[in-house]
Amino acid sequence: MSTLSKKVLFWMPRALSIAFIAFLSLFALDVFNEQVGFWRIVLALILHQIPVFVLIAALVLAWRWEWIGAALYAAAGLLYVVWVVSMSRPVPPAIRLIWILTIAGPTFVIAGLFLANWLKRAELHKSGGASF
C-alpha cells in the first residue's frame, strides 16, 4: 500500500464524518422559521442538534478506535432507516428512499471506511504510519 493510499484511507472517514456532521447540522436551521420566543428557539435548536452531538461523540471515539466508528455509524444509519420505514406519516416510498439515501447512505459509507481503516490498521501504522 502506497503512502498516499494509506493517508487517504486514514483521513477519508474522518473528513467525511466532519462534512456529514456539518451537513446534518444545517437541518436544525429550520427552527428559526417558527414564531416563538427566544428560549423556545434555543431549546428547539438544541433538540435538533442531538443527532449531531451523538455523531460528534462517535467521531471522537472513532478517531482512536476505528471499530467503534464502524459500529456506531452503521448503527446510526440503521436506526435512521428503521425510523423512516416505520413512520406513520403518509410519505410516498420514493421520498422515503431519497431520505434514506441522503441521510443513512453517508453513514454506511463512513462506517465502511472506518471498518476498512480498522482492518488495515496494522499496515497503516507500520513503518511510522502513526504520524498521520
Q: For a pLDDT cut of 70, what percent of the chain falls above it?
A: 94
On average, the pLDDT of the chain sits at 89
On whether the CB atoms of residues 117 and 66 are closer than 8 A, the answer is: yes
Q: Where are the domains of the chain?
A: 3-131
Burial class (CB in 10 A: 0-12, 13-18, 19+), 110: buried
Q: Please state the pTM of the whole predicted model.
A: 0.84
pLDDT computed for residue 38 by the predictor: 84
Q: Please report how the helices 105-119 and 3-25 are oriented relative to each other, as an axis angle in degrees rounded to 10.
A: 150
pLDDT computed for residue 131 by the predictor: 52
pLDDT computed for residue 29 by the predictor: 83
On whether the CB atoms of residues 39 and 47 are closer than 8 A, the answer is: no
Say which DSSP state 34 is in.
Answer: S
The more confident residue out of 112 and 27 is: 112
Question: Residue 128: which pLDDT band, with cuts at 50, 70 and 90?
Answer: very low
Residue 52 predicted with pLDDT over 90: yes
- Work out the average pLDDT over 51-61: 95
C-alpha cell of residue 62: 472513532
pLDDT computed for residue 27 by the predictor: 86
- Work out the average pLDDT over 96-122: 94
What confidence tens digit (pLDDT) does each residue in 21-41 have?
999 999 888 888 777 888 888
The more confident residue out of 6 and 55 is: 55
